[in-house]
């Protein structure tokens, strides 16, 4: 049985590890190629796009894929819709592996917004030293002159490219991050507002706890909607169970 995982996430790597131990299962992981030195999962790996819906459907047919699992980042967006359309064209079963989103708890000061642009508009008056943890893509939303007085600490795996905030320091780092480390980072940098996407999971959630403890507001960009009618599981183990059902 050939399983194609659209990956690039911690859950995708874990799923590849689990499926690599399944008898009679061949695993191929597809990475978008946006990270210069990704952590490679076990099994076969391909890097780069497919060329849209038709390209992905052709790849599924050509490589005799029996099951497709979309384990991309919750904010990957386009690929999830392409996967749903391509799976339908190629008549391949599709599953979405989505880590649960974060939920605000007692003491959290969250401002939930619908986009990076809304997050940028919410910043004036909230703080002056911003911890921006939305990745290196989309920094243009924070490059406007109305935010010129704000200072940004931008954390990403790879160096960002312009346009980006006028006053900015880049911290190249990769999760998972510890609570002690996040506490110290907020303290050392004098952070008084955090901006993040609701990516979910535990690898980057300690910043939320550190912000709550420090009384720092957090602007949270909600997840975009995914394609309708796609089966969803919340864990790699759940995805393995699905593969077993498909295999019969």
Nearest to 10 by CA among 159, 199, 214: 199
pLDDT at 37: 67
Q: What is the pLDDT of residues 118-177, one digit of tens each?
A: 999 999 999 999 999 998 888 999 999 999 999 999 999 889 989 999 999 999 998 889
Q: Please give the share of the chain, as a percent, with pLDDT higher than 70.
A: 98
The continuous run of DSSP H or E covering 24 comes out as none
Confidence of residue 32 (pLDDT cuts 50, 70, 90): confident
Dig out the tokens for 207 from the structure.
């910043």
The whole domain housing 52 covers 2-100+226-247
Confidence of residue 33 (pLDDT cuts 50, 70, 90): confident
Domain count, the chain: 2
Cα separation, 3 vs 52, in Å, equals 19
DSSP state, residue 242 = H
Cα separation, 111 vs 194, in Å, equals 10
Average pLDDT score over the chain:
94
Between 40 and 50, name the one with better pLDDT. Answer: 50
Cα separation, 124 vs 42, in Å, equals 45
pLDDT at 140: 94
Cα separation, 209 vs 36, in Å, equals 30
**Phi, then psi, of 202 in degrees rounded to 5:** -100, -15
Residue 105 lies in a domain: no
First CA to last CA across the chain, in angstroms? 11
The CATH code of the domain that includes 43 is 3.40.50.720
The DSSP-derived string for 52-113 is HHHHHHHHHHHTT-SEEEE---TT-THHHHHHHHHHHHHT--EEEE-PPPP---TT--EEEE
pLDDT at 19: 96
Three-state DSSP state, 121: helix
| Same domain for 213 and 170 | yes
Confidence of residue 40 (pLDDT cuts 50, 70, 90): confident
Pairing of strands 231-233, 193-197: unpaired
Helix 179-189 and helix 206-214, axial crossing angle in degrees, nearest 10: 50
Residue 207 lies in a domain: yes
| Same domain for 95 and 73 | yes
Average pLDDT over residues 206-229: 96
| Same domain for 187 and 171 | yes
pLDDT at 77 over 80: no
Owner of token pair 């290196």: 136
Burial environment of residue 48 by CB neighbours within 10 A (0 to 12, 13 to 18, 19 or more):
exposed
Average pLDDT over residues 35-40: 72
Q: Starting from the edge strand earliest in sequence, which strands make up the sheet with 67-70, in order?
A: 44-47, 26-31, 2-6, 67-70, 94-97, 231-233
Cα separation, 112 vs 124, in Å, equals 15
Average pLDDT over residues 71-93: 94
| Same domain for 195 and 133 | yes
The CATH code of the domain that includes 155 is 3.40.50
| Same domain for 129 and 57 | no
| Same domain for 188 and 146 | yes
Residue 145 lies in a domain: yes
Confidence of residue 36 (pLDDT cuts 50, 70, 90): low
Between 77 and 235, name the one with better pLDDT. Answer: 235
Q: Please give the share of the chain, as a percent, with pLDDT higher than 90.
A: 84
Residue 166 lies in a domain: yes
Dig out the tokens for 209 from the structure.
């706890």
**Phi, then psi, of 143 in degrees rounded to 5:** -100, 0
């Amino acid at each position: 049985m050939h399983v194609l995982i659209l990956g690039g996430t911690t859950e995708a790597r874990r799923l590849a590890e689990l499926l690599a131990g399944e008898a009679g299962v061949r695993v191929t992981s597809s990475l978008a190629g946006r990270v210069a030195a990704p952590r490679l999962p076990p099994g076969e790996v391909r890097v780069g796009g497919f060329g849209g819906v038709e390209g992905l459907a052709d790849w599924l047919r050509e490589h005799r894929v029996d099951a497709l699992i979309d384990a991309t980042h919750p904010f990957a967006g386009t690929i999830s819709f392409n996967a749903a359309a391509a799976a339908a064209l190629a008549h391949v079963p599709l599953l979405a592996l989505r880590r649960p989103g974060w939920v605000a708890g007692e003491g959290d000061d969250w401002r939930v917004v619908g986009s990076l642009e809304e997050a940028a508009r919410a910043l004036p008056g909230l703080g002056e030293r911003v911890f921006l943890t939305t990745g290196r893509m989309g920094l243009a939303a924070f490059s406007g002159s109305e935010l010129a007085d704000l200072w940004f600490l931008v954390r990403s795996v790879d160096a960002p490219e312009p346009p980006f905030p006028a006053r900015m320091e880049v911290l190249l780092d990769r999760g998972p991050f510890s609570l002690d480390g996040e506490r110290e980072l907020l303290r050392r940098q004098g952070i008084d507002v955090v901006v993040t996407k609701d990516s979910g999971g535990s690898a980057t959630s300690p910043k939320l706890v550190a912000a709550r403890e420090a009384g720092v507001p957090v602007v949270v960009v909600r997840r975009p909607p995914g394609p309708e009618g796609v089966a969803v599981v919340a864990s790699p183990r759940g995805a393995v169970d699905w593969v077993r059902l498909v295999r019969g």
